[in-house]
Structures are given as C-alpha cells and as structure tokens.
Structure 1
Amino acid sequence: MNPIVAPMNVLQALWNGARLDAAALQSVQFTGDGCPQGFASSFAVVPAIQASVAAAALASTQIEQLREPRRQAQQISVDARHAAFEASGYFALDGVVPDLWSPISGLYACGAGIGQPGWVRIHANFEHHRDGALALLGLPTDAQTSRIEVQQALQQCSAADFEARAIAAGLPIVALRSHEQWLEQGQEAEIANRPLIALERVSDAPPLPWPQLGDGQRPLAGIKLLDLTRIIAGPVAARTLAAYGADVLMINGPHLPNIEAIAELSRGKRSAQLDLRGEAGRGDLQQLLREAHVFLQAYRPDALAAKGFGAEQLAQLRPGIVVAELAAYGWQGPWAGRRGFDSLVQTASGINVDEGLTRGDGKPRVLPVQALDYGAGFLLAFGIQAALLRQATEGGSWRVRVTLAGVAYWLRSLGRVAVEAGDWDQPRADMSPYLETLDSGFGQLQAVRHCAQFSRTPAAWEHVAMPPGSHPALW
C-alpha cells in the first residue's frame, strides 16, 4: 500500500487524457492532508475528489481564455478537507439534517437459514424500489414493514438467487462480491477497455458561437445547459458548471420521484418540468435545444432515444451540441443497462469487501463519502468542458460518457492507501468554515460551498434551489 497518492499526479493523468494544454497545470495548487481526519479509507478517495474538482475548475479557465484571450489565466486551488466535506453531501433544511436513507436500504446478511451465507445490498430510497424489494421477499409493500422483517426473510434466500430475481424485476439490488468475484462477472474487463471519460465526435457541425464574456463574469457565463438528471452524480456535474457561470435549466418530469437531496443539488439552477411522455413536452424540449450548448442526461440507456433524444438525434436537432451521458455500469458488457447507484457499485465491485478487510474486522465497509457519485459528477463536468473546447476549436457534435463502475475501476487503479489503526474512527473536524446558509424554495438551506477556489471569479450559484416546476421551461 502507498503512504499517499498525490492529487497533482492524478490531475495530470486526467488532463493529459483529455489532450489539453499541459502548461495550464501550473495554475493549480492543492492544499491540506490527502486523508483528512474522519475520512479514512484504504482507497485514495480524497485525492481523487480533489483532482476531479481541479480538472473541472481548470477546464473552465481554459474556456474563459478561449473566450477572452486578453484575460490573465486564473489560479485554482482545492483544499483536501473542503473537497471531502463537499463530497459528503451534507445539508440541513431549517436546521434539521434529513435522513436520506430509507429504513429498508442497506446491506443485509442472508442465506443462513439455507446454509448459503452471503450479503446483499438493497437500495430502496424510492417507494417503487422499496415495494418491489418487499414483494420479492413476500412481505407487505408499505412503509410499516421493518428492517428486522426484511432481515428475517433474507435468511431464507441466497444472495445470488435474490440478486437474480431482483435483476429480472429491474430492481436496484446486488450481491456483495470481492474484487476477484467482480472480475469473474466480466464487466470490469469491458470497463478497462474504455476511457474513464469517453469523448466521441458524433457528427460534423460548425463551432457554435458563445455570447461575449463580460467583465467580471465567471468563465461559463452564457453557456446553456439542459440538466435532465436527478440522482447525485448528474446533478453534481450540472451544479458544478453552474458554479462556474453556466446557465443551467433542470428539466424534471411531473411524474418522476426525486430524492430529498434535490434541495442541495439544485443550487445554481432554474427548475422546470416537462412531461416527455407527450408530444407537447417533447416539442417544448426541442425548442429549448435550439439554444442549448449542452444536454446532460442519466436515464437508462436508450430510454431517451426512444423519445427522440438520443445523442445522434440531438446532433441533428442541434448541430454542435455536447451530449453528456451517465450510467451505472456502462453501455456494453454483461452488466450494461442495469440499475445502479453509488452504494450498489461499491458493493458489487469489491470496494466494500476491501474496505472491511483493511479495517481489520472483515465486515463490509462503505467509503467515507459517496466518492463514485461525486467523482463521476466532477469528472463529467470536466469532460463536458473538454468537449466544449473541442467543439469551439474543431467543430462537431460531441458525446461525453462516464460510468460509476468506471470511476470505481479508476479509484482502484490509483493504488491502495495505508491507514493507521487509530484513524478509522476519528471524528471529523468542524465543518462550519465550509458552509453557506441560504434561503431556498425548500426552506433555509445550509450546505457546503463549492471547494474550488478561483483567483479572480469565485465560484458561486446565481439561483437559489427551488422545487421542480418553480420556473417556466424557457431560457
């Protein structure tokens, strides 16, 4: 194991992979301990987050210089502790920190009653996922069913059988695997053959004009982004670009459920609703596309293509568009298209097992933050801007892809980190220096400020967080 992973080395690899100007790296500084107190992990979680944020922030300054060459290049700094707290997803509404996890969600020992011990993780934060999991176990499908009842029912199920039935039902449930067992699935081999951030030219198109950048405006001012995402990684990407000045319009469906964290993830965005099941909603989205520079979505593969909004279709509707796509496991391979969330990918890919083994008690253990979600979000923000730079200089319509499983593979590739035995249970430092308190449409919101520091145009969110449908679907 390594004593430390240097975030600058991680950033350099990301930057070079996107074929951007290496001289720009001189403008970045990293501060703080690579493993802040309270964030112990045998994976390089905090350096990975630091480097991902720095890549996104630095890319915005490259866009700024392309738009306004007379401006002096900005300096960027990212502090380890601040980055860790941002990736913790902390927020409070009216002084109350909400419990974001359903009582049914989590990791369960199973199979003891049939002599096939194992573990499964259930993700049940949406009611339809909760009810589907309970129905598989023959339990009442309501909020009164307890975690103890789920645990008892799982004693009569093997992990492999329960996972297989869940997959057939389209439910987000996975069996716990070691990394070796994950390799046997074949999906990591597919991921290993693809870049962490995949940039692909979809079709030819002339460069899209950007509005003039005014004095004091942030680097992405006037760049328009449609955000059709709801679950952490995608919203983090859009929120990050909003912090750098992008005009972000979040499009939700009136029939779709949302997680409580939408209150924190909506900072910097205007929030509208369109029902893409009908012609009127699809027509309104087509109208918005006429002015958009970026289209960000995290629907299941091919779901939007069936409605006329796949990458190739978008390139025809808006030549020069950058289409950003996020998936749990990818678009190819035996696990392609499966439902997944950060916690599930950690469980399936061996991260939980490895953290537990390193901790010493052998119990499956999660990462100290949702590093796959936040890492994917920051990396996608970086990839979108790399594509915007290509579009502006080379033309073309572009597709950017990132997967949670790809981020897990990347995180493992950075090398494991030695952790002192006494570091595992250390309390976290005071978070208050990194918090901001704002009024919002959800109540008084307290949350972590964006961790990238700019020397001239500080990251900021122009719009307060508002519930879905608070704004018209207009630029």
Structure 2
Amino acid sequence: MTDIAFAWTALGGDPALLSRVTTAERPGTLAARLPVRRLARACVGACALAAAELGARRTGRAEVPGVRVDDGAVAAAFHSERLLRVDGRAPLSFAPLSRFWRTADGWVRTHANYPHHRARLLDALGLPADAAPATVAALLAGRTALGTEETVHAAGGLAVALRTPHEWRASEQAALVAGRPLIERATLGTAPVRALPPLDAAAAPLLPAAGVRVLDLTRVLAGPVATRTLALLGADVLRLDAPWLPELPDQHADTGLGKRSAILDLAVRRDTFEELLAGADVVVTGYRPGALDRFGLSPEALAERHPALVVAQVSAWGAYGPWGGRRGFDSLVQAATGIAVTEGSAREPGALPAQALDHGTGYLLAAAVLRALTERSRDGAGRSVRLALARTAHWLTDGMPYDDGPEAAGTPRADEDAHVPQSAWLTEADGPLGRLRYALSPVNFAGGPADWAHPPTPWGSDRAAWA
C-alpha cells in the first residue's frame, strides 16, 4: 500500500479514487534520515483527493478531477513560514529561549515564542523576566532534563526532555498513541441534511468548499494550516482569538491567507459565539484537549446543540493518557518522540528539515474535514475528527519505510528535476499587511484554485460575524 493510500484509507476514502492521483517526485527535497518527503507527499495527496472528491460531489460530476502532487510544491509549502517575506523582510524565527539546552544528564527542549510562554518558563526556573539566554543555560546545566520538564510543565510552560526512540516507545503515552488510528473519526448527531448548494461544473476555479462556514479556533501551526487550506478551497473561514492572546505578526501573515480574523471573548460574548455556531458548518479547534470544554466546545456538547456540525480537533499529544492535557508544539514532539535523536544523536540532537509534523497534520486535518463534509452530504450526520502531532510522528517513525525510493507499484509517478528554482512555488501580492511573498498551496487538482482569494487581513480586524 502506498503512503497516500494509507492516509486515504485512514480518512475512510474509496480506494478506487486513488487512480486519480499522480505524483511528481523530486529526489532530494525535504532530505532527512526519516522519510519526511514520503509523509509530506502523502498528507498533501490525501488532502487534494478529498478536495477533488467533494468538488465532484457538489458539481454532480461522475468522475473525480485528477490530482497531481508535486514534491517541489509540497516542500515549499512545508517551509511556508520560513519563505514568507513581508515588504522584503524575512520573518522572525524561533525566539532566543526556544531551543535545546544542555542539562546535567542530557538535553531539554523549550518553547517560548509567545510572551506568556516565556514568562511561565522563566517563572518556573525562578529567573527574572529579562533573563538572558546565557543565564538560562547556566541554570539548566546543573539540572536534570526530566526534572526541568516537570517543573516547567507544572507552571504551565513548555519544556520536554530529549528522549531516544526506545525511551519514548517505552512510555505509557507512546503506547496509547500507537494504539490509535492516524485519524480518529466518529459520527455525532443526526439532523436533516444540511445540503450545501450545488456548484456550477463549468465555473472556474472549482471551489469544493464554497459556502462552507468554518469557525477557526486554532493556533500554531497545524490547525491554521488546515483552515488556510479550507479557505483556499472556498470556505468562509473566520478565525477567533481571545483579546489577551494576540498572534505573532509573521505567523498570522503566513497562515491567515484567505481568512478573516476577529477578536471574541467567549466568556463575555457568549450570545455572539452561539450565533456563530448556529451558522457554522465546521468548527476547528487547536487548543490543548479540554481547554475549551467550559465553553461547550467538546464534540459531544456541540453535537447536542448542533447535530450537523463537523467538529475537527488537533492536539500535540492526543486527547488521552498522562500527556493528554499537556501543551505542545512540533519541536517539542520531535524531542519527546525520539525524532531529534534520529535526525542527530543523543549527544547532539537534530531536527526535521521542516516542521513536518505541523504541516503534515494540518493537511490531514483539512482532508478529514473535507471527507466529513462529503459524508454529511449523504446522511446529514455531524462528524468528529481528531488528530495529534504525536500520532503523525508515530507514522513517520514506525509506519513507513526509511528508504526514499519509489512508492509501491500502482501509483503513477515520474521523477522530476529536483533543482527547479524555489521561486516556481512562490508568488507575491499586495495587501493590508504590505507586500507579501508566500508559498503557493500544494493542494492541486484539475480545475482547482491556484491561489487564495485574498491576502490576510490584520489580526483581529474583522467583525465576529458571518459574511
């Protein structure tokens, strides 16, 4: 079974549709010890096929449009946050306190890009708010990695001890992650079919998600990648953020393409939020499991009030087990699951060539939403889909061959020139945030969109209302 077929099967897709997929393989892209290129291609291919399937469903076409997955476009998209330029300026990367640190017995990886995460990290370490990296390094050199992990976690911060693949696999959380499907899917309530209007088969471009309303309650990076993809496909995506949690400007510029952005305090403006829910087709959440339950946002609670909703959730570690309530990011999952050791060593940790867990999971999440919409069009039932970065990591490390050769026979493919200029997958546009250079979407199918309908709007500048 090819990697794309594995992802498509996890989505519940019809195996017969795999014949609609062709790949343009470019050896050398996303080079790593682990099969990152295969994973990235599979996630994007499954997403593009889900989009093409929904498009055929809504236009009444008997044949699903052909899908083409190009490794060059995929690699550029998986580096989108690095390739972004705003008025010619390169984006800010990881903050000074987001890095690996040597400890007395190994390494620990911290994440402190957001001001509140930096504050919690320094508070947990007993350091002043203006502590320099050298001060942190000196302190951690005398502490244990696991001790630091627990201390920072208890304070609401983000730190993970470096683990070997063997150490991770021996943990309770790893066993639970490995026992779950790549994509957890469930049927929620039933309601009269909420039919999306048919699409004109002759219209160009074909926008499979046109008319779909998506409430985007996500942050960094998998969730925003998913909703950015749904926006590309025509969905009305409204991202909501709390007023006290502003987004990083460059991150917003990268992931806000095609969306609208509004500020809403869910605790204060509950009536407004419920009105938005009543008009939504899809709710996507990317906060740690349980964090939004008090607002009635668990899949079960949503199904009681809005049985036709598609509820999509993404987390770092999975919504179960001893780590189920922990915060996490791609870099931390790489450190905990042994990926950083595989890409480097226990003496000097490495990293994947891109934040592939975030991007890959994001495209799978978008694919799961698209497939849920296709299924809902048949029976009217709401759907729940759930993914975790740690489960995607398990697929990368334990679920596919380490060699980067051709996929199994049966998937049409062609080796392409790996040295096509990266600019082939980039474009530029003027907008309210300035002149943007950004990566084009790798989700490609016959007749589909080539670019987003509009550039990102300023963070929090839109009304909390459907267009």
- For the criterion TM > 0.5, the same-fold answer is yes
Q: Deviations over 1:327-381 (max 9, x none)?
A: 1101111211111000000000100001114xxx952100000011001100101
Q: Distance in 1 between matches of 2:116 and 2:260?
A: 27
Match status 1:152 vs 2:152: no
SS of the residue aligned with 1:203?
Answer: coil
Match status 1:370 vs 2:358: no
- Which of 242, 261, 265 is 1:271 aligned to? 261
Q: Deviations over 1:95-119 (max 9, x none)?
A: 01122211111001111xxxxx210
Residues 106-125 of structure 1 correspond to what in structure 2 (within 5 A)? 106-111=99-104, 117-125=105-113
Match status 1:11 vs 2:4: yes
Q: Deviations over 1:299-344 (max 9, x none)?
A: 2222222012221222222221000011110111121111100000
Using structure 2 for the length normalisation, give the TM-score: 0.92
Match status 1:349 vs 2:337: yes
Q: Distance in 2 between matches of 1:429 and 1:59?
A: 28
Query: Which amino acid in structure 1 is aligned with residue 9 of structure 2?
Result: N
Q: Distance in 2 between matches of 1:428 and 1:93?
A: 25
SS of the residue aligned with 2:102?
Answer: strand
Aligned to 1:94: 87
Aligned to 1:22: 15
Q: Deviations over 1:7-62 (max 9, x none)?
A: x81111121233322221111111022432xx321111112111111111111111
- Which of 114, 118, 128 is 1:130 aligned to? 118
Match status 1:104 vs 2:89: no
SS of the residue aligned with 1:452?
Answer: coil
- Which of 450, 456, 461 is 2:452 aligned to? 461
Aligned to 1:75: 66
8 A contact 2:106–2:347 mirrored in 1: no
Q: Distance in 1 between matches of 2:276 and 2:228?
A: 19
- Which of 16, 30, 33 is 1:42 aligned to? 33
Residue 463 of structure 1: how far off its partner (Å): 2.4
Aligned to 1:294: 282
- Shift in alpha-carbon separation, 1:366–1:20, aligned structure 2, 3 A: same
8 A contact 2:99–2:110 mirrored in 1: yes
Aligned to 1:32: 25
8 A contact 2:146–2:161 mirrored in 1: yes
SS of the residue aligned with 2:390?
Answer: helix
Aligned to 1:447: 438
Q: Distance in 1 between matches of 2:288 and 2:128?
A: 28
Residues 305-454 of structure 1 correspond to what in structure 2 (within 5 A)? 305-357=293-345, 362-415=347-400, 417=402, 430-454=421-445
Query: Which amino acid in structure 1 is aligned with residue 263 of structure 2?
Result: Q
8 A contact 2:247–2:459 mirrored in 1: no
Match status 1:262 vs 2:252: yes
Q: Distance in 2 between matches of 1:164 and 1:237?
A: 31
Residue 415 of structure 1: how far off its partner (Å): 3.5
8 A contact 1:294–1:322 mirrored in 2: yes
Q: Distance in 2 between matches of 1:400 and 1:16?
A: 14
Residue 72 of structure 1: how far off its partner (Å): 4.7
Query: Which amino acid in structure 2 is aligned with residue 460 of structure 1?
Result: D
- 5+ residue gaps, structure 2: 405-417
SS of the residue aligned with 2:170?
Answer: helix
| Farther-moved stretch of structure 1 (173-182 vs 255-264) | 255-264
SS of the residue aligned with 1:238?
Answer: helix
Q: CA RMSD in A?
A: 1.9
8 A contact 2:3–2:400 mirrored in 1: no
Q: Distance in 1 between matches of 2:395 and 2:7?
A: 11
Aligned to 1:471: 462
Using structure 1 for the length normalisation, give the TM-score: 0.90
Q: Distance in 2 between matches of 1:147 and 1:59?
A: 45
Aligned to 1:61: 52
SS of the residue aligned with 1:261?
Answer: helix
8 A contact 2:190–2:382 mirrored in 1: yes
Q: Distance in 2 between matches of 1:19 and 1:305?
A: 27
- Which of 222, 227, 233 is 1:244 aligned to? 233
Query: Which amino acid in structure 2 is aligned with residue 225 of structure 1?
Result: V
8 A contact 1:109–1:119 mirrored in 2: yes
Residue 141 of structure 1: how far off its partner (Å): 0.9
Aligned to 2:42: 51
Q: Distance in 1 between matches of 2:363 and 2:389?
A: 12
SS of the residue aligned with 1:249?
Answer: strand
- 5+ residue gaps, structure 1: 1-7, 112-116, 420-426
- Which of 185, 191, 194 is 1:208 aligned to? 194
Residue 474 of structure 1: how far off its partner (Å): 1.7
Q: Distance in 2 between matches of 1:127 and 1:108?
A: 19
SS of the residue aligned with 2:187?
Answer: strand
SS of the residue aligned with 1:141?
Answer: coil
Aligned to 1:188: 174
Q: Distance in 2 between matches of 1:397 and 1:456?
A: 28
8 A contact 2:53–2:65 mirrored in 1: no
Residue 257 of structure 1: how far off its partner (Å): 2.8
Q: Distance in 2 between matches of 1:471 and 1:221?
A: 20
Query: Which amino acid in structure 2 is aligned with residue 63 of structure 1?
Result: L
Q: Distance in 2 between matches of 1:379 and 1:453?
A: 15
8 A contact 1:236–1:374 mirrored in 2: yes
Query: Which amino acid in structure 2 is aligned with residue 277 of structure 1?
Result: A
Aligned to 1:167: 153
Residue 169 of structure 1: how far off its partner (Å): 1.1
